[in-house]
A and B are shown apart, each in its own frame.
Chain A
Amino acid sequence: MELAAENILRKPSVVIEPGKGLFQIDLIALWRYRELLYFLVWRDVLIRYKQTAIGVCWAVLQPLVTMLIFTLVFSNFANIPSDGKPYPVFAFAALLPWNCFSQALQRSGSSLVGNANLITKIYFPRLLIPMAASVSPVVDLFFSFIVLLAMMLWYGILPTWGLLALPLFVALAMLSALAVGLWLTTLNVKYRDVGHIIPFLIQVWMYASPVAYPVSIVPEKWRLFYSLNPMVGVIEGFRWAILGAQRPDWMVLVVSSTVVVALLLGGLVYFKHMEQTFADII
């Protein structure tokens, strides 16, 4: 049976030529290497918690501590409103997708350079590297989600049917991270400056997203411009799905998704264009 499967998947002949055309993504090759994608994600998750005393608890502890600090600073000191919800849950519901996104962006942005030893020694579709890097934080998200459920129980917040839409918002966050990560990681191969830009970018991006504050405090006339940031749609979606907050504006979601798709397509073209030179200049 296995042999039969291998025969079907085997590409009988490989043609090696100087690259032609701008946009040719070999979906068949990506599919053939899907197991490697799995192993790369598996590796990232494993090594993250190797030789740590509390292991995967870090995935929970980090957003939890951030949430406590936010509650203290933004809710108690600065009196930032939270749309009538308990601020800790309000912040935590945003920190889940935000942490996931920022991790994915951070890892995918430096993924090619971090895997230079693979790129110069073996062939596989290079796209798998940033893809794996953007997917692996979802595992952390899963663990902190359990904590969120406990918090909802504590505050007596009942889950709604909106919860079923969560995977869509997670996917949007991942795609956003991949879209930007593709640009950054490709640039990083040639210009190591990108490595210094990423932490700064993430910091700025967090303040440009409604993590610590509600969208409602953003002036109405700036809303459309504001929603060019895809994380606005994602975080709004999370709060809606978890807390039963106001349903995100369709317009916001459409704008966010369009931005993501445009960035992603552009990133793919740029990535594929540069891919052939990775091994030579990395």
Chain B
Amino acid sequence: MSNCAISVENISKKYQISSGKQRHDTFRDLLAERLCSVFRRNGSGSSGPTSFWALQDVSFKIGQGQIVGIIGQNGAGKSTLMKILSRITQPTLGRAEINGRVGSLLEVGTGFHPELSGRENIFLNGAIIGMSKAEIRRHFDAIVDFAEVEKFIDMPVKRYSSGMYVRLAFAVAAYLEPEVLLVDEVLSVGDAAFQKKCLGKIEDAAKGGRTVVFISHNMTAINSLCERVIWVDSGKVVEDGSAAETVKSYLAKSVKSLDLCEEVWHDPGEAPGNDMVRLHRVRVRRQDGSLSDPLTMQTPFLTEVECWNMIAGAHLHITLHLYNAEGVIAFTTASLEGDRPMPAGLFRCVCSFPGELLNSGQHRFVVLVVKDSNSVICKHESRVSFDIIDVRERQGAYFGREPGVVQPVLKWTTEYLS
């Protein structure tokens, strides 16, 4: 197979986890353990070192010039896979072959020394990530330019702001030009403007015919940059296919978007409230009724509040305060649709949220029951919380979260006036 850049065959990686402390053993520990094992041999050999498979039987082939995303939850084995492909650690079983010069960026600024100046660190870091002295010289001005640190280039990097440090670190990496580029989650550095430049660089690399494999938790970046995505979970390849398909099934399976989508009280005696009103249920669900699919920024969803009204003829309405992850009230909304006296018993208010309104992130509610439009008779901080995820495929190169509590899609027009 001549156009195959990376071929991975049945790679497995086992890690030893000794019981208790296992890092930085000392001779004393070794001696103690040897002694213990002598005694243990007679008894039941229980708490010996256990092992776990970080990767199991992983196989795939990546063609030359492909740009492939690797997704999966933390601890799924993505980084172990990257470490094996970049030869930092060896597989326990299996075999992999990479054709062409490999460059790996598991971190930006590997080997940066705080005492050295920006200029010195460019050369050091460049050499460490695999550039030749000639290459570094050739790109030196471009690197400094890209990092926007001209004025500070001869200052020790320990005096850099963290933004400058990260920009310089990424800038060196951006000029690494291997045939196969392995990138671990490094796209999440810097501010929005800088991220845009970085992702542009990755796109350029791919357009230039290089093979790029990258790990990201940013589904928007994955969706927009990759044609193919490999989903790894518990050390195994769960799905390997087109970006759109794989991301969709990954989200459906792993992202607990509706962390807690329902709160119910069956016994009015235990429900929040008082002798005028008791809550029965607070629930968030997708409008299409699907339970497994997560809420995306486009998904319309419903919020239902059910209460027991204890006093016939009361004028009640429900007010929702919607909070985002930063604790900011995105907005409030109330069921003022038709004020009329309510009979005693259970009632339900449903609020429908359109898609393309809220920004991505975690959200929760405070539910208020208001009597006569002026007095709050029950206030409940609901434990119902839901994550709105961003899976839009974007044309621009910025894939981070846009600021703001809402992210509505508004109509724009442009006229040419001259």
Residues of A within 8 A of B (CB): 2, 6, 10-19, 35-36, 38-39, 42-43, 46-47, 50-51, 117-124, 190-193, 276, 279-281
Contact = CB atoms under 8 A, between A and B. Distances in A.
Contacts of A46: 115-116, 120
Interface of B: 11, 15, 23-27, 30, 83-102, 104, 106-107, 110-111, 113, 115-116, 120, 123-124, 127-130, 132-135, 156
B110 A276 contact: no
Given A43-B113, A123-B87, A16 B98 contact: yes
B26 A192 contact: yes
Contact of A17 (B83, B85, B95, B134): B95
B88 A122 contact: yes
Contacts of B90: 16-19, 276
17 contacts: A6-B132, A10-B101, A13-B99, A14-B97, A15-B95, A17-B91, A17-B96, A18-B93, A47-B115, A47-B116, A51-B156, A117-B110, A117-B111, A120-B88, A121-B107, A190-B24, A192-B24
Given A14-B97, A43-B120, 10 more contacts: A16-B84, A16-B95, A16-B97, A17-B95, A18-B92, A18-B93, A36-B128, A38-B127, A50-B115, A191-B24
A274 to B, nearest CB: 12
Nearest to A188: B24
Contacts of B107: 121
Contacts of A51: 115, 156
Nearest to B156: A50
Contacts of A19: 90
A14 B102 contact: yes
Contact of B111 (A2, A12, A118): A118
Contact of B15 (A6, A120, A122, A280): A280
Nearest to A189: B24
B245 to A, nearest CB: 29
A121 B115 contact: no
A43 B116 contact: yes
A13 B106 CA distance: 21
A237 to B, nearest CB: 34
Contacts of B156: 50-51
B110 A122 contact: yes
A13 B88 CA distance: 16
A35 to B, nearest CB: 5
A240 B190 CA distance: 60
A276 B88 CA distance: 8
B133 to A, nearest CB: 5
A36 B127 contact: yes
A173 B87 CA distance: 33
A114 to B, nearest CB: 11
B91 A118 contact: no
Nearest to B121: A43
Nearest to A9: B132
A280 B116 CA distance: 28
Nearest to A196: B26
A16 B8 CA distance: 9
A50 B95 contact: no
Contact of A191 (B26, B110, B128, B132): B26
Nearest to A51: B115
Contact of A2 (B26, B87, B99, B134): B134
Contact of A13 (B92, B93, B97, B135): B97
7 nearest A-B residue pairs (beta carbon): A123-B87, A39-B127, A16-B96, A50-B115, A279-B89, A276-B90, A121-B110
Nearest to B178: A10
A190 B99 contact: no
Nearest to B83: A279
B88 A12 contact: no
A157 B106 CA distance: 57
A273 to B, nearest CB: 12
B126 to A, nearest CB: 9
A51 B115 CA distance: 8
B216 to A, nearest CB: 18
Contacts of B83: 279
A236 B190 CA distance: 58
A35 B26 contact: no
B100 A16 contact: no
A74 B285 CA distance: 88
Contacts of A36: 127-128
A79 B95 CA distance: 67
Given A12-B99, A46-B116, A117-B110, A35 B132 contact: yes
Contacts of B124: 39, 42-43
A130 B299 CA distance: 57
Contacts of A123: 86-88, 104
Contacts of B97: 13-16
A122 B89 contact: no
A45 B133 CA distance: 18
B115 A276 contact: no
Nearest to B91: A18
Contacts of B101: 10-11
Nearest to A17: B95
Given A18-B91, A123-B86, A193 B99 contact: no
Contact of B110 (A2, A10, A35, A118): A118
